[in-house]
Structure 1
Amino acid sequence: MAEQADRISPVQKLRRLMNDSDKIILGPGVYDGLTARIALQAGFDCLYMTGAGTTMSRLGMPDLGVATLNDMRDHAGMIASLDRSVPLIADMDTGYGGPLMVGRAVEQYINAGVAGFHIEDQVVNKRCGHLKGKELVSETEWYARIRAAVNSRAKTGRDIVIVARTDALQSLGYEVALKRLKGALELGADAAFLEGVESKEQGRQICADLAPAPVMLNMVEGGVTPHFSSQEAKEHGFKFIVYPGLALGPVYQSVAAACKHLKETGDTGNVYQGTQGQGPKELFMVCGLKEAIEFDVAAGGELYKRGV
């Protein structure tokens, strides 16, 4: 049985988590190899690749629709490859174009090892869901994106979880957003994602209105959505809760403080404070140093035989 469990694909594992009525899926927001490794070390069942974090870390730009399919796919593939036993849900933004591009994006995310993704109904030149002034495509174009995603998945003969996200709440209101999500689910999306939930009551309502479909909550600290703990989200009916800013905020604060200290004092202080005095080696251990050495030695390599 253990051997069979080892053969479960990431998407199979994600679907099992989705079918577990006692569980809410926590998606810690990661945006590069190091933050992904840290989350893996913490023992999460699932990872979430934030599009905003990917855009900022990979391009040094804000989340304004500038990341391309290649940017997002390559980043997602790298993160997914770090531990194939842990499913990755990745942002797919708008699908990067018309139906042909959406289909291509789905196929490439599958090939990259991504277990699930969310796709939204903003125009291609999108912006972060917690900024103002978002523009949406028509209902017809939105449904074409979902059909393209579902058809592309079927064409590959392989699986990936499709999460339909709408940003319609802010400009078109709850009923329109609900209609768009219901339509996407009817077309074959596996889960729904109402971006920018404005109250806890609204969160409970969207879960009830879409039941029994699983619903995702985007917990953006400082955004338009009130704070939910994972337990609160579960009690309100959500199946997923993702935290895109989990690593971004702490990294920004700590690195900004370290840069300020270096600029003002001409010294770094103890930049590895909290790593038991082991310096960079502790970080390398988080990123698989021990496993890399063991692999090399098992293959007959000599370079790391006596350690590092």
Structure 2
Amino acid sequence: MSAAAILRKMLADKDKIIVCPGIYDGFTARIALQAGFDCLYMTGAGTTMSRLGMADLGVATLNDMKENAEMIAGLDRTVPLIADADTGYGGPLMVGRTTAQYMQAGVAAFHLEDQVVTKRCGHLRNKELVDEEVFLSRIRAAVNMRAQMLGDIVVIARTDGLQSLGYEAAVSRLKKAIAVGADVAFLEGVSSKEEARRVCEELAPTPVLLNMVAGGVTPKMTVAEAKEIGFKIIIFPGFALAPVYQGVAAAAKELKETGDVQIKGDSKAGPREIFSVCGLKEAMEFDIAAGGNLYSKGV
């Protein structure tokens, strides 16, 4: 089965909520895979910061995002990857190209939003939106290219209009996006659990995605709470960002001040253990099975 087909099967499971840790490079993806998650989310903010060293202010290009997504999607083809595709990076022709590129990269699903091309993180203030018809043209372009490619990708329609347009107008945009072919709805910046429940009920049976950003405008919800409210997908974009920042910042401070870095706790984090997360054993076995002898005595 393709990654998109696997994801669609998950979406069809009435008893399942799809839990996606937010990862942004091969290492964080490998850690999430080792933990046993059956779906991953490639965060645009994390991709922008890790590849460009810049804040999420609409500076990442299609190539930046697609190349990262292709690498992550290729680590385990049985685990679907949902990837941020921002605004689609231009008009309908460009959105079509983005769709084709993501499909060729093995991405299972992507979300397209209604911000202007020079966008910003959904949990920052003063976002600018495009007209409704421009947003719908992005969704149509993705749906049309999917049909033209004779393949599959799950199209997620995201609106950032809740804060500036109000609930009714934002949900109206999502309903129209669903009408032109979007498979999943994504209301960014849900501000209360009551609002969350309402959008899930109003858009049913279309699956709705919850963006759980720690410290953002959305109230904290556990996976169990999100499932009870009616969400079908929950993504945690900051899953790896905050721990990596906190851990590396603490290690940097320790090294600068003491001239040494100690491994915290009793966990092992030497080269062998870290490489094992990234497929060391499987790579050695593959080499030996093909007749290689470089690793026959181990490493």
Aligned partner of 1:4 in structure 2 is none
Matched AA of 2:270? G
Aligned partner of 1:305 in structure 2 is 296
TM-score by length of 1: 0.96
Aligned partner of 1:68 in structure 2 is 61
Q: How many residues align?
A: 299
1: CA distance between counterparts of 2:175 and 2:231?
A: 16
Matching of residues 153-164 of structure 1 within 5 Å: 153-164=146-157
2: CA distance between counterparts of 1:274 and 1:247?
A: 21
**Is it true that 1:43 corresponds to 2:43 in the alignment?**
no
For the residue of structure 1 that corresponds to 2:111, the secondary structure is: strand
For the residue of structure 2 that corresponds to 1:207, the secondary structure is: helix
**Is it true that 1:210 corresponds to 2:203 in the alignment?**
yes
The gaps in structure 1 that reach 5 residues or longer are: 1-7
Aligned partner of 1:296 in structure 2 is 287
For the residue of structure 1 that corresponds to 2:206, the secondary structure is: coil
For the residue of structure 2 that corresponds to 1:242, the secondary structure is: strand
Matched AA of 1:126? K
1:286 and 1:274, CA in 2 relative to 1: closer, same or farther beyond 3 A?
farther
Matched AA of 1:143? L
| Per-residue deviation, 1:274 | 4.4
**Is it true that 1:112 corresponds to 2:105 in the alignment?**
yes
For the residue of structure 2 that corresponds to 1:303, the secondary structure is: coil
| Per-residue deviation, 1:197 | 0.2
| Per-residue deviation, 1:164 | 0.1
**Is it true that 1:281 corresponds to 2:276 in the alignment?**
no
TM-score by length of 2: 0.99
Matched AA of 2:135? W
| Per-residue deviation, 1:269 | 2.0
1:169-200: CA deviation from partner (whole Å, max 9, x where unpaired): 01110011011000000000001000000000
1: CA distance between counterparts of 2:218 and 2:286?
A: 45
| Per-residue deviation, 1:80 | 0.2
| Contact 1:121 1:142 survives alignment (8 Å) | yes
2: CA distance between counterparts of 1:87 and 1:142?
A: 26
1:11-48: CA deviation from partner (whole Å, max 9, x where unpaired): 11100000000000001100000000000001111000
Aligned partner of 1:89 in structure 2 is 82
The partner residue of 1:129 within 103, 106, 122 is: 122
Aligned partner of 1:139 in structure 2 is 132
1: CA distance between counterparts of 2:5 and 2:144?
A: 19
The partner residue of 1:199 within 192, 203, 216 is: 192
| Contact 1:48 1:89 survives alignment (8 Å) | yes
| Per-residue deviation, 1:270 | 2.7
For the residue of structure 2 that corresponds to 1:305, the secondary structure is: coil
For the residue of structure 1 that corresponds to 2:100, the secondary structure is: helix
Aligned partner of 2:175 in structure 1 is 182
1:252-306: CA deviation from partner (whole Å, max 9, x where unpaired): 00000000000001111237x5443x61110100000000000000111111111
2: CA distance between counterparts of 1:160 and 1:242?
A: 18
Matched AA of 2:226? A
1:157 and 1:222, CA in 2 relative to 1: closer, same or farther beyond 3 A?
same
For the residue of structure 2 that corresponds to 1:66, the secondary structure is: coil
For the residue of structure 2 that corresponds to 1:252, the secondary structure is: helix
2: CA distance between counterparts of 1:170 and 1:283?
A: 43
1: CA distance between counterparts of 2:288 and 2:280?
A: 12
For the residue of structure 1 that corresponds to 2:55, the secondary structure is: coil
Point out 4+ residue stretches in structure 1 off by more than 3 angstroms: none
| Contact 1:275 1:282 survives alignment (8 Å) | no
1:181-240: CA deviation from partner (whole Å, max 9, x where unpaired): 000000000010000000000000000110110000000000000001011101111000
How many percent of aligned residue pairs carry the same amino acid? 68
Report the aligned-residue RMSD.
Answer: 0.8
